[in-house]
């Protein structure tokens, strides 16, 4: 029971790390190597939900640069 709990906590930490690293701009190929995924497709299947947020954040940065911050 304790081993199972520790394994789940370790997996949760890894998922958090991978999500934050992808959001911070780490390339998916590099990201796939960390957990030992056999392909980038596996990583992207699991973490693609992060991509829309990244796109919105970067679009906001460009818009703020061009037009100034929103009131």
Locate all alpha helices (DSSP H) within 1-71, ordered by sequence.
Answer: 2-24, 28-33, 40-47, 51-67
Cα–Cα distance measured from residue 63 to residue 69, given in angstroms and rounded to the nearest whole number: 8
Alpha-carbon 45 to chain mean position:
11
CB 4 within 8 A of CB 31: no
pLDDT tens digit sequence for 9-65: 988 998 888 888 887 888 888 888 877 777 888 888 887 777 776 667 777 778 888
pTM of the model: 0.59
């Amino acid at each position: 029971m304790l081993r199972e709990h520790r394994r789940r906590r370790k997996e949760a930490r890894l998922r958090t790390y991978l999500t934050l690293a992808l959001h911070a701009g780490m390339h998916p190929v590099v990201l796939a190597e960390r957990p030992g995924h056999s392909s980038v497709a596996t990583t992207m299947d699991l973490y693609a939900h992060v991509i829309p947020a990244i796109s919105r954040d970067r679009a906001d940065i460009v818009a703020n640069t061009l037009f100034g911050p929103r009131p």
